[in-house]
Amino acid sequence: MAYEVALSVKIEALGAEFFFGPPDQALGELFRVAQHRNVDHLDPACPPPELIAPLAEIFVSGVKGWEGVVQADGLALPCSLENRQSVPTLDKVAVAAAYVEKALAVEEKKVEPDAPPTSSTPTESNMGKADG
């Protein structure tokens, strides 16, 4: 048996692709607020108001890259902390809510992870082979 971990989750939204790494602290805050407010379902199209700030933080801390995000002049916008913070709040919330929904589905094994899982378990094909 091997532990499979999805290190990256791709979300297609707003005409772009967003690549998330684990936003551990922000995700914990989202769950804390959701539990405190008795929120048991997250509708990505209309999240409860009390979850907007935690979802925006999941976007800022979780997005590690993006493709298809452009400036008004059509040039690609780099995925920097400053630019992630500058994305309009409702756009951050929509993308982050889609991420949470997909990440939970991956955890529940309802969908396959986007990237191949990493495993340090040796297989017959890689045992005893030297680099070079």
Q: What average pLDDT score do residues 99-120 get?
A: 65
Query: Structural domain boundaries of the chain?
Result: 9-107
pLDDT at 10: 92
Helical (H) or strand (E) element with 14: none
Whole-prediction pTM value? 0.74
Backbone dihedral angles phi then psi of residue 13, each to the nearest 5 degrees: -160, 155
Least-confidence region, from 8-22, 52-66, 93-107, 117-131: 117-131
Instruction: Report the C-alpha gap between 60 and 63 in whole angstroms.
Output: 6
Instruction: Report the C-alpha gap between 121 and 106 in whole angstroms.
Output: 21
Least-confidence region, from 2-11, 37-46, 101-110, 118-127: 118-127
Instruction: Report the C-alpha gap between 69 and 86 in whole angstroms.
Output: 12
What pLDDT digit, counting tens, does each position of 32-79 carry? 888 777 776 677 677 788 889 999 999 999 999 999 999 999 999 999
